[in-house]
Amino acid sequence: MATQTPSSRPRRRRRHPATITIHDVAARAGVSVATVSRVLNRNAPVRQETLQHVQDVARRLRYVPNTAARALSIRRSHTIGVVLPDVHGEFFSEVIRGIDVAARKSGFHILVSGSHSDADEMLAVLETMRGRVDGLLVMAPDVAIGAIGDQIPSELPLVLLNAASDAHDAIGVDNYGGAFAMTRHLASEGHTRIAFIKGPDHNADARERLRGYRQAMRQVGVRDRGLKCSGDFTEDSGCAAAKTLIAMNPRPTAIFAANDSMAIGALSELSDAGLDCPGDVAVAGFDDIRVGRYITPSLTTVHVDVDELGRRAFELVYDAIEHPSDIERRRERVTTSLVIRNSTKVRPKGRKGGAQ
């Protein structure tokens, strides 16, 4: 009788553990498949003791729901698509954090992508998300919304952030009010030459902040002609604008930048030019990003609760998902407030530089 060598013996197939199904959970728990589905999908009321029992059984069996099948059966992915102009920078990361915290409390996840303020790229992103999300949050202050809205299925809830459309729910920041209040504050401190570093002309937020500045300058009776410089919301553009402004004769006594990044760039240019802030030129920004409170001098700014913006945006889209027949369009606005720090505070004579 021939003896089989180890190499000639037939290999035994490795047995994989059987996949636990919803039917296994139902059988072990002694309930119907429908009851297990109600417990796991949380789409119908179940007695507390039944809920706990089914969850315990599913946990012991290490049951993993088939999310794809679940999405098909209930027509829900429990995922929200989030499209922002960029995903880099403190402002956008705070928006994402606010959305994510609120989403997780409601059992949702988020898919995040950047559009780079390009309409074609945004449409490509939205097309990729189609069929994968239950709703969309889109921040598009730089993009015309009309063409985008036409490409989105009417039954898919869409909430706009910092953009306006009569056809969609929207939430934004009180950019006009914040800029108006800051300009009035600088005027009340005795500044008569208040320069403004603008954001991009095509950006809706930037236009509203410029409008607030202009209106406040008119109300206090101060001319703003020649005191506006272009910027693009980056530190470099703030630095370049400040270089132009401080070369004026007479130069401005205060510089108000349309966002904190440009204000920080302006502070850097003032320092390089040997000018004291706020002794020679006061500086203020907009958004209240975290780094502004730690630089020297600490930055006076318009505070925007970006976390609240994200949270309330999610609440709007979640409400639209839960109440699809509600056709009333909602418009919400996040208020702003002034945060006065050392970059505009008048210091006692004889004391220059450093935080107070």
Write out pLDDT tens, residues 51-108. Answer: 889 889 988 888 876 654 554 444 678 999 999 988 777 888 899 999 999 999 999 9
**Residue 305 in tokens:** 């609760």
Write out pLDDT tens, residues 197-246. Answer: 999 998 889 999 999 999 999 999 887 778 999 999 999 999 999 999 99
Bridging pattern class, strands 109-114 and 158-161: unpaired
**Does 241 or 353 have the greater pLDDT score?**
241
> Do the domains 175-304 and 79-173+306-335 match in fold?
yes
Whole-number pLDDT of residue 142: 65
In this structure, the number of other CB atoms found within 10 A of the CB of residue 101 comes to: 13
For the segment 304-310, the average pLDDT, to the nearest whole number, is: 94
pTM over 0.85, yes/no: no
* Residue 305 confidence class, pLDDT cut points 50, 70, 90: very high
Give the 3-state DSSP-derived string for the chain, with helices as H, strands as E and coil as C. CCCCCCCCCCCCCCCCCCCCCHHHHHHHHCCCHHHHHHHHHCCCCCCHHHHHHHHHHHHHCCCCCCHHHHHHHHCCCCEEEEEECCCCCHHHHHHHHHHHHHHHHCCCEEEEEECCCCHHHHHHHHHHHCCCCCEEEEECCCCCHHHHHHCCCCCCCEEEECCCCCCCEEEEECHHHHHHHHHHHHHHCCCCCEEEECCCCCCHHHHHHHHHHHHHHHHCCCCCCCCEECCCCCHHHHHHHHHHHHCCCCCCCEEEECCHHHHHHHHHHHHHCCCCCCCCCEEEEEECCHHHHCCCCCCEEEEECHHHHHHHHHHHHHHHHHCCCCCCCCEEEECEEEECCCCCCCCCCCCCCCCC
**Residue 34 in tokens:** 């429908």
The burial of 322, by beta-carbon neighbours within 10 Å (0-12 exposed, 13-18 middle, 19 or more buried), is given as exposed
Q: CATH: 1.10.10.10, 3.20.20.70, 3.30.1300.10, 3.40.50.2300. Which one for 79-173+306-335?
A: 3.40.50.2300
* Residue 296 confidence class, pLDDT cut points 50, 70, 90: very high
- Class of 22-74 in CATH: mainly alpha
Q: CATH: 3.30.1360.70, 3.90.180.10, 3.40.50.12780, 3.40.50.2300. Which one for 175-304?
A: 3.40.50.2300
**Residue 226 in tokens:** 């020649």
Write out pLDDT tens, residues 130-149. Answer: 888 999 999 877 665 655 66
Write out pLDDT tens, residues 7-35. Answer: 445 544 444 445 788 888 889 999 988 88
Write out pLDDT tens, residues 108-137. Answer: 999 998 887 777 788 888 888 888 899 999
How far is 356 from 300, CA to CA, in rounded Å?
A: 13
Beta bridge partners, 197, equal 229, 257
**Taking 60 as the threshold, does the pLDDT of residue 347 lie above it?**
no
Query: Where do the structural domains in the chain lie, given as residue ranges?
Result: 22-74, 79-173+306-335, 175-304
